[in-house]
Amino acid sequence: MAEKKVILRWFLFPWIVFLVVISLVIVMNRKPPYRLSKYPDLRNVEVKELIILDQKRGLSEGVLYKENLPEYIKGENGIGVLLIHGFTASPFEMAELASFLNSKGFSVYNVRIVGHGSKSEYLDKLSYKDWYESIKYGYFTLKNSCKEVFVVGQSMGGLLAINIANYNSVDGLILLAPALKIVDEKFNLVPFAQFFIDSIEKEYSDTSKFKNFYYDRRSVKGMVNLKYLIDYTWKNSTNLSVPMLLIHSKFDDVVKFSGSQEFYNLYKGEKKFVVIDDPGVKHILSSSINPNKDYVHDEILKWLEVQRAKK
């Protein structure tokens, strides 16, 4: 009897391992489940109404701080700039850049990606398609009030900016450390990890003193959707050709600098790459977390002025 149990055990064990491996491969290689598309036409909606709709959605998610709500600031030069923050961040991340550009005459809309600026648990329930769709109010606020619109994205916001430019009309694209490849190789395991772990505490402290504006934990399901968005962006942005400015630090500790290099080399349109070669500059480029923030702001302004001069 004991021998039969041993034989049965050794017969079943390889099959169990085989099924686990196959299941893991299937889960790890699942394709992005949603296709993005052009935004529904909101050109006939009044700017004030668009802003109210966006603000109400934030309040309905329990956003407590005004810095975490979307904000529109009108400028006088007729040029609009759409600002998109990164994963687990909030509009606070782009606020300094918004203020700087507005002081130079630009209209700015600092978006809040749905699920951000409130509770990290919201990211368990929302997809990358929800993130993309949530930016339409800001996009049309600028489209309906400006003669030109540029889109700026930090980190994950860069991925969303690429997709907005790919499916909608914009006059230029600015990417700040776009999250095209992640430094931590464990990130590739999140499709499997989601069945066992709900969230992961952040391991670095760049944003720890801004706990009201950044989540201190990463939703694993949210990271799965970030992975989907990365895969989707690489596959579907090959024909994008609007003018692009890309800025990235060689010493980024979250997103691989090589990802930006590869994307830049493949990009078909007019392009400029500003490389920051300073060990003190890590991932976030748009705010005072970056000690060379002013340099980044000035490079963005110079590029925007060049684009304006071409019109």
Q: What is the mean pLDDT of residues 76-96?
A: 97
pLDDT > 60? residue 3: no
pLDDT greater at residue 163 or residue 191? 163
Residue from 63, 76, 89, 66 nearest 211 by CA? 89
Note the pLDDT of residue 23: 46
Joined tokens for residue 128: 């990358």
pLDDT greater at residue 23 or residue 82? 82
CATH topology of domain 46-309: Rossmann fold (3.40.50)
CB neighbours of residue 282 within 10 Å: 20
Q: What is the mean pLDDT of residues 210-227?
A: 90
131-136-139-141 Cα dihedral, nearest 10 degrees: -130
List the chain domain ranges.
46-309
Close Cβ partners of 162 (under 8 Å, ≥ 6 residues apart):
153, 173, 175, 178, 233, 237, 240
Task: Report the distance separating Cα 162 and Cα 151, nearest Å.
Answer: 9
> What is the per-residue pLDDT across 35-59, written as a single tens digit (0 to 9) for each?
999 999 999 999 999 999 999 999 9
> What is the per-residue pLDDT across 238-293, written as a single tens digit (0 to 9) for each?
889 999 999 999 999 999 999 999 999 999 999 999 999 999 999 999 999 999 99
Note the pLDDT of residue 15: 46
pLDDT > 80? residue 103: yes
Give the pLDDT band (50/70/90) at residue 187: confident
pLDDT > 60? residue 106: yes
Note the pLDDT of residue 74: 97
Which residue matches tokens 């860069």? Answer: 158
Note the pLDDT of residue 292: 96
107-121, 174-188, 193-207: which has the minimum mean pLDDT?
193-207
pLDDT > 90? residue 309: no
> What is the per-residue pLDDT across 155-166, written as a single tens digit (0 to 9) for each?
999 999 999 999
Note the pLDDT of residue 72: 98
Mean pLDDT (the chain) is: 90
Residue 218 contacts residue 144 (beta carbons within 8 Å)? no
